[in-house]
Amino acid sequence: MESESTIKFINLIGIGVFSFVNFFTFTITNMNELGFYSYQIHEILSYITYAFYLPLFIFMFFKARLFISEIKDKTFSNHILFLTIIVLATLIERFISNAHYTIIPYSVQFIVIDLLTITVLGTITLLMIFKNPEFLEALSTYYSVRSIYLISKKGGQVIFRHNFQIPDEETVLPDQLLLGGFIYAITSGLEATLQMEGKMEAIRVGDIFIIFKHGKNILGIVFATYETSILHLKLHMLMQRFESYYSSILNNWVGDLTQFDSGILQEWVIEIFKKVL
């Protein structure tokens, strides 16, 4: 989270500096055949911008390939690939449109091509969204999950955890056992303090949403950057499968974590949370 905040801060600073410099250095093109003219980025500033964003485009391309290769759902991966191509094509078109017109003359032909390109890209994007209305929510859900906890209601012990940021870290450490009891106590205390009729389902702490689901014997918790209905449903599905599979153990469980197969639980988490409904 700290690295993401740093990147956002650097981008905001960059945008601010670029806007400030551009305000004092922009140029105006000569009128074309129809009497139109355009405000343009200064030629030197445009070259600096291209030099800055070219590595970013390359990074985005390879990062997108990495994300897509990890997605199990082929339809979803194809949608993300298509969306990535549209975004990159739009950015490239905008850069070309803002180029200095000593390189690309500001002619009627250029205006027509520019408008047609934007129209085609916008139409394709809208058609994709209308044809797959759940895609944006599924996309935000897919990448928003940080970690998952299954906590016993008897004492608040962590039965299982999965950290999507560090997927190979499977061991439940002592501080995480304490965290489970702490979270369970906090949710119970808040419900009592607020005199809630039902169970608490989510709270926001800074940039993180903590989503809760209560089962018969366990409390399921998801830490995520966004709260969506799909995420609530996925957590509910995981808990139902867990309590059904281990029903005989959970009824008389006394704290022995070896009774739960972490390999099976890992498979369930990947299947449910990395699959588009």
Question: Which residues contact residue 98 at a Cβ distance below 8 angstroms, ignoring those fewer than 6 apart?
Answer: 40, 41, 46
pLDDT given at position 191: 52
Pairwise pLDDT comparison (188 vs 13), residue with the higher score: 13
Pairwise pLDDT comparison (260 vs 64), residue with the higher score: 260
* Mean of pLDDT over the chain: 76
Contact between residue 171 and residue 262 where contact means Cβ atoms under 8 Å apart: no
CATH code that applies to domain 145-273: 3.30.450.70
pTM equals 0.60
Locate the domains of the chain by residue range: 2-133, 145-273
pLDDT given at position 5: 65
pLDDT of 53 over the 70 cut: yes
Instruction: Report the amino acid identity of residue 88.
Output: L
Compute the average pLDDT of residues 264-269: 88
Compute the average pLDDT of residues 205-233: 85
Distance CA 57, CA 92 (A): 9
pLDDT given at position 193: 46
∠ CA 54-127-69, rounded to 5°: 50
Question: Which residues contact residue 168 at a Cβ distance below 8 angstroms, ignoring those fewer than 6 apart?
Answer: none
Percentage of the chain beyond pLDDT 90 is: 5
Percentage of the chain beyond pLDDT 70 is: 78
∠ CA 90-92-98, rounded to 5°: 100
Pairwise pLDDT comparison (28 vs 248), residue with the higher score: 248
Q: What is the pLDDT of residues 164-204, one digit of tens each?
A: 766 555 544 444 544 555 565 555 555 544 444 556 677 88
Distance CA 166, CA 222 (A): 15
Distance CA 264, CA 274 (A): 15
pLDDT given at position 178: 46
Compute the average pLDDT of residues 5-20: 77
Distance CA 242, CA 261 (A): 11
pLDDT given at position 242: 93
- Closest to 64 (Cα-Cα) out of 86, 93, 41: 86
pLDDT of 160 over the 60 cut: yes
pLDDT category at 240 given cuts 50, 70, 90 is: very high
pLDDT given at position 238: 92
pLDDT category at 225 given cuts 50, 70, 90 is: confident
Question: Which residues contact residue 53 at a Cβ distance below 8 angstroms, ignoring those fewer than 6 apart?
Answer: 91, 95
Question: Which residues contact residue 38 at a Cβ distance below 8 angstroms, ignoring those fewer than 6 apart?
Answer: 28, 29, 101, 106
Q: Tokens for 269?
A: 């988490």
pLDDT given at position 241: 93
Q: What is the pLDDT of residues 107-120, one digit of tens each?
A: 777 778 888 988 99
Q: How many CB atoms lie within 10 A of CB 150?
A: 25
Helix extents (H) in the chain: 2-25, 43-70, 74-97, 108-131, 135-144, 174-193, 229-245, 247-250, 262-273
Compute the average pLDDT of residues 137-158: 79
Q: What is the pLDDT of residues 92-108, one digit of tens each?
A: 787 777 765 656 777 77
What phi, psi does 147 have (nearest 5°)? Answer: -155, 160
